[in-house]
Amino acid sequence: MASKFLPDLTSKLSLNDSVSIRSFCSYLGKENFVFRQLFDSVSSTYTYLLGDAGTKECILIDPVLEQVQRDFQLVQDLNLKLKYAVNTHMHADHITGTGKLKNLSGCKSVISKCSGAQADVFVTDGDEIEFGNYKLNVLSTPGHTNGCCSFYLKDLGIAFTGDALLIRGCGRTDFQEGDPETLYQSVHCKIFRLPAETLLYPAHDYKGCTVTTVDEEMRLNPRLTKSQDEFVDLMKNLNLSYPKQIDKALPANKVCGLYNLPEESK
């Protein structure tokens, strides 16, 4: 019933307004759902706080080391208890905040087994990550890296795509285990099979956008609307410069972000 009316509702609301998701939750009878999109301007990374105000359990998706105090303060301000600090993949452009959050809050870190990184909980395709009365379905969406996962919260029609699908873009495939054929299949066979009105929240945006939908990306994504062969050719010729923090980020992220940390981040 909810998904039947979702397109009408979203067309009346500004998707970039946090009020919209609150109104939508209220409409669905999910008033307890807490949702915040946080931003790290150095790496252009989005961190997401998802919680259940009824049970107080919450999770953070893709926390950034330098923003841990901000994120943990918000968890406390909202009287929530952090259950999991989750990574969509082993990031190359920033050090994860999951290890520091574990030390601060006693939460457990979560990542996919295929990522090659250490964590308390390893997830794989089909698993569920529960917090309060909500759950994320784990979708394996490799191609940017082997361990990339997207997380789908079916009840609310929202998904977190990490670097697999960015707004009008996608994760690059020229380092770690990047593979354009695999990424194309992940997006088309997993993310584009979610309901068209599903709100998609990426791990990064470099142009100030905050959210998109399956429908928008299927129609307008300049890379993923191409044929697979055209996509592969395009991805092999992007000639992007390497992320500035990659040499310190990858070794640190293999161990939950707790390796050789800069003094000011400890």
Ligand X SMILES: N[C@@H](CCC(=O)N[C@@H](CSS)C(=O)NCC(=O)O)C(=O)O
Residue among 45, 99, 112, 93 at smallest CA distance from 72? 99
Contact letters (x/-) for ligand X, 159-178, by CB under 6 A? ----x-----x-xx------
Q: Is 244 in the site for ligand X (CB under 6 A)?
A: yes
Query: Which residue lies nearer to ligand X by CB, 236 or 244?
Result: 244
Footprint of ligand X on 98-157 (CB under 6 A): none
- Residue 249 Cβ vs Fe ion, minimum distance, rounded to whole Å: 9
Q: Is 66 helix (H, G, I), strand (E, B) or coil?
A: helix
Residue 22 burial (CB count, 10 A) = 16
Query: Which residue lies nearer to ligand X by CB, 83 or 172?
Result: 172
Q: Is 163 in the site for Fe ion (CB under 5 A)?
A: yes
What DSSP state is assigned to residue 114? G
**In which element (H, E) is residue 71 found?**
helix 68-77
- Residue 203 Cβ vs Fe ion, minimum distance, rounded to whole Å: 7
Beta strand residue intervals within 15-74, DSSP E = 33-40, 45-52, 57-61
- What residues are paired with 81 via a beta bridge? 57
Q: Is 134 helix (H, G, I), strand (E, B) or coil?
A: strand
- Residue 12 Cβ vs Fe ion, minimum distance, rounded to whole Å: 34
Residue among 84, 41, 83 at smallest CA distance from 66? 41
- Residue 24 Cβ vs ligand X, minimum distance, rounded to whole Å: 28
Binder of ligand X out of 23, 32, 38, 243 (CB under 6 A): 243
Residues of this chain that interact with ligand X (CB under 6 A) are: 43, 92-93, 163, 169, 171-172, 204, 240, 243-245
Residues of this chain that interact with Fe ion (CB under 5 A) are: 163
